[in-house]
Amino acid sequence: MSRTVQCVLLKAEAEGLDRPPFPGALGERIYAGVSKEAWARWLAHQTMLINEYRLTPYEPKARRFLTTELEKFLFGQGSAPPDAFVPPAP
């Protein structure tokens, strides 16, 4: 049986993650309050950020930027795409 969480992004009860997405306090915070759907939304947003800003995720500066954007996306006011971003046509 899957676990449910009160998702901070969806503002509703939803299926929770199977395990923390990474170690540490932030990973535990995400595990406790972020649903699978919200995490999938973050991963799509993160992919867009990596592509649009041409980030190399293993570089410390890029990792700090992505961690900051993750916190804004899930727990803050949201993470905006770059000004020049044009979403793909449906």
DSSP secondary structure, the chain, as one string: ---EEEETTTTEEEEBPSS-SSSSHHHHHHHHH-BHHHHHHHHHHHHHHHHHHT--TTSHHHHHHHHHHHHHHHHSS--PPPTT--PPP-
* Number of domains present in the structure of the chain: 1
The pTM of the full predicted model, rounded to 2 decimals, is 0.89
CATH number at residue 71: 1.10.3880.10
* Tens digits of residue pLDDT in 9-66: 999 999 999 999 989 999 999 999 999 999 999 999 999 999 999 999 999 999 999 9
Q: Say which residue, 38 or 81, is predicted with more confidence.
A: 38
Residue 90: inside a domain: no
Residue that wins the pLDDT comparison between 36 and 89: 36
Whether 84 is covered by a domain: the verdict is no
User: Is 82 among the domain residues?
Assistant: no
Instruction: Determine the structural domain holding residue 21 and report its residue range.
Output: 4-75
pLDDT band at 1 (very low <50, low <70, confident <90, very high): low
Query: Is residue 11 in a domain?
Result: yes
Report if residue 42 sits inside a domain. Answer: yes
- Residue 13: inside a domain: yes
